[in-house]
Amino acid sequence: MRAFLTMVGKDLRQRSRDGTLIVFALVLPLGLAFLLNMLLGGDPEEDFSARYGVVDADGGELASMFVEDVLEPLEGEGILELRTFASEEEARESVEAGEIDAAFLVPDGFTDDLHNGDSVELRVLGDVDSPDEVQVADGVAEAFAAEYHRVELAVTTAEPSEEERAELALRAAEAPAAVRVVEDTDADWRQLDSPTYYAAGTAVFFLLFAAMPGVVSLFEERRTGTLVRLSASPVSTLGILAAKLASTVLVGLVSMVILITVSTFSFGAEWGDPLGVTVLTVAMVLAAVGIMSAVAGFATNAEQASSWATVVAMLLGLLGGALFPLANLGGLADLSYLTPHQWFLRGLSDLSTGDGLGSVLLPVGVLLAMALAGASVALYRMGRMLHP
Amino acid sequence: MTFLEVEKVSKSYGSNKAVEEVSFSIAEGETYGLLGPNGAGKSTTISMIVGVLRPDSGSIRIGGRPHGVGNNATKAQIGFVPQELALYPDLSAWDNLMFFARLYGVSGAEARRRCGEVLELIDLADRARENVSAFSGGMARRLNIGVGLLNRPRLLILDEPAVGVDAQSRNAILESIQRQAAEGVAVLYTTHYMEEAERLCDRVGIIDLGRIRAEGTQRELVSQVGEDDTIVLSLSGGTERAVLALKKIPQVREVSTEGSEVRLLVRDARSTVPLVLETVADSETVLRSVEVREPDLETVFLHLTGKALRN
């Protein structure tokens, strides 16, 4: 353990003197996040205007009430533009094409089920590119659900007796909401606000670059001749490689902590539940180091390792929606699930709904699996460097 | 008492046999020289002994215990000075020493004490806090050796430690190695400089093309070539023509070249020199200098391998 800590300490000392690390780990992500947020993030004080669609598969009284009494008055006030679609497919295509920000999907049987006292779903299909507009649509649907519940109770209890009042009050308190609003996650929409999205995106984008000096350092050790001395020392191969990876992980964690702190206080990023963010961040750093180490493990020298790692970091960052929304990728968006960036941002999105650690178990699991796979490949390949 | 035993160790890279059934042993306090030209297999042999490379076959024992890549107990008894400078240039001499001391399990006050002793030994105490990148080649070489002494090894392995250093530094390096041997450390020293081997080594193994060609004390090895002398000619122009002609002289047993220098192994230099000079003159080659040497390790090497040691 002492030798392990000695090697980690030496590596951290060398990394701390590396000016390019400061640039990649702090200056670039913060600068780019600030710029993107300023240029693309929009001003929250500006007048709100959204483009919504509605699919009324029910055609009944209550569905019409939602459209005519809720949505159309808002359109009349200029808050939104409303389009009507014949089917969910048409609405989805329009959302994915960016023609509308969100669509309300009123299912067949909506009115009858409500009259029968059954619970129904009012779905909101959101555009990944319009998080604010989707949030408002969600709010409108929630408001209707709450209002309908209240009105329904009032209708059923017209001129009740004292006993009936007491019984209905009890039922009202215990009854689930008649209308349940369902957010459609199939469309990959996320609720991260602009400052958080750009801060998180640029942080993880540059995290892979910040990990590069660490994973390439083994090649540097070989170039300077010190690798032979390490290999000849009474330290196991696993210990040497683990120390290399550990120092890189620590650099990544420090970088992320600084970026999260600065972005929170300087441009209002809201990362979510601290415990969830901590676990998600640790998993992301491990995944980044694992993947970059695996890539470097296939190189034959430091220059090649740096080049390959740069290409992979760029590709994963772009495919993972770290710098611009996934909707811009069109058919390639599905590939984002192969990137740690997507899972990290998705985890943050899940946290932003107000849920805690439990909501990010899937993203954390995927990230840890990526970390494990990458580290396994790296340990095998780099172990051969130490003892050919 | 034997401390290092190398038994029929072999290593190949693809079809290239880098080391083939190499065997030798070194006793405590003994300095063993592995003498051979570049590419002879010295560094590969060393890499297997220090536990960096796995042998394809054969065995290595240190202090009577089996030794290999994963055997940290035996690795801890080895002090290793690689051919390349194995130092962190962006760290100071002190930090380099402390780092490697801790890797060998020496820490705290003991580590500081040993680093101080080593710095005194290699005469760098007053430069301890300077980064290695600011050191001259000779200073860095001395520090490279110093790192190998930190763990107070019972087996010190030096792979051409004095390459490219000035005469003064080389002398200091050789003296420090002699001190280690005098204290009972088994020393394995590789070089392609005959002078170093003659000065340091109790026994010498001559290695070429991955095999040990001969082994013994200098006296034993020299006796293998009998009373043959070496005539060293420095020629200018038409060297190949001259070499062809020189090979036809009956008294000449071996001919090797290194650039414009031609070495002849002859039975009796005194009687052969006139013939040699006449032959060179007839081949219309300009003779710049001629030197006659008594038998030495260089002669042995030439005799055994048919080529000069520094080729």
Q: Which of A4, A7, A224, A233 is the best mutation test for B, with the most CBs of B within 10 A? A: A233
Residues A273 and A373 in one domain: yes
Summarised one tens digit per residue, pLDDT across range B42-67 is 889 999 999 999 999 999 999 999 99
Residue A327's pLDDT is: 61
Q: What is the DSSP letter of B160?
A: S
Residues B136 and B88 in one domain: yes
Residue A363's pLDDT is: 92
Highest mean pLDDT among A23-37, A146-160, B24-38, B185-199: B24-38
Residues A142 and A269 in one domain: no
Residues A31 and A174 in one domain: no
Tokens 């929170």, located at residue: A264
Burial B211-232 (b: 16+ CB within 10 A, else e): bbbbbeebeebbeebeebbbbb
Instruction: Report the gap between the CA of B87 and the closest CA in chain A (Å).
Output: 6
What parts of chain A have a pLDDT lower than 70?
A: 40-48, 129, 147-191, 326-331
Summarised one tens digit per residue, pLDDT across range A186-197 is 444 445 777 888
Q: Of A138, A156, A187, which marks where a domain is finished? A: A187
Range of the domain at A28: 2-40+192-386
Residue A265's pLDDT is: 87
Residue of A nearest to B73 (CA): A234
Residue A135: CATH number of its domain: 3.40.1710.10
Residue A262's pLDDT is: 87
Task: Report yes or no: B35 and B206 within 8 Å, Cβ to Cβ.
Answer: yes
Question: Quick check: is B191 in a domain?
Answer: yes
The residue that leads in pLDDT, B298 or A330, is B298
Task: Report yes or no: A53 and A86 within 8 Å, Cβ to Cβ.
Answer: no
Phi, psi of A78 (to 5 degrees): 80, 10
Q: Of A234, A387, A388, which is closest to B104 when you measure between CB atoms?
A: A234
Give the HSE-up count for residue B281: Cα atoms under 13 Å, Cβ half-sphere. 6
Q: How far apart are CA A29 and CA B69, in angstroms?
A: 43
The residue that leads in pLDDT, A41 or B9, is B9
Chain A contact residues (CB < 8 Å to B): 2-3, 6-7, 10, 13-14, 17, 224-226, 228-237, 386-388
Summarised one tens digit per residue, pLDDT across range A271-285 is 888 898 999 999 999
Residues A198 and A346 in one domain: yes
Residues A180 and A117 in one domain: yes
Give the HSE-up count for residue A118: Cα atoms under 13 Å, Cβ half-sphere. 8
Q: Which of A218, A228, A230, A235 is the best mutation test for B, with the most CBs of B within 10 A? A: A228
Residues A155 and A222 in one domain: no
Mean pLDDT throughout B86-96? 93
CB neighbour list of residue B163: distance below 8 Å, 6 or more residues apart: B83
Domains: count for chain B: 2
Q: Residue B308 pLDDT more than 80?
A: no
Tokens 């038409």, located at residue: B238
Partner A, chain B 86-125, Cβ-Cβ below 8 Å: 86-91, 99-100, 102-105, 107
Per the structure block, which two tokens stand in for B74?
Answer: 């035996």
Q: Of A165, A187, A209, which marks where a domain is finished? A: A187
Instruction: Report the gap between the CA of A249 and the closest CA in chain B (Å).
Output: 21
Q: Residue B128 pLDDT more than 80?
A: yes
Q: What is the DSSP letter of B92?
A: B
Residues B198 and B263 in one domain: no
Residue A41's pLDDT is: 61
Range of the domain at B290: 227-294
Residues B94 and B160 in one domain: yes
Residue of B nearest to A13 (CA): B91
Q: What is the DSSP letter of B39?
A: T
Residue B130's pLDDT is: 93
- Taking CB atoms within 8 Å and a gap of at least 24, the contacts of B238-241 are B238/B283, B238/B284, B238/B285, B238/B286, B239/B285, B241/B283, B241/B284, B241/B285
Q: Residue B79 pLDDT more than 90?
A: yes
The helix (run of H) or strand (run of E) holding residue B118 is helix B108-121
Residue A158's pLDDT is: 41
Residue B252: CATH number of its domain: 3.30.70.100
Residues A155 and A219 in one domain: no
Residues A136 and A264 in one domain: no
Q: What is the DSSP letter of B243?
A: H
The residue that leads in pLDDT, B114 or B230, is B114
The residue that leads in pLDDT, A31 or B101, is B101
Q: How confident is the model at residue B258 (pLDDT cuts 50, 70, 90)?
A: confident
Residue of B nearest to A384 (CA): B53
Burial A102-122 (b: 16+ CB within 10 A, else e): bbbbbbeebbebbeeeeebeb
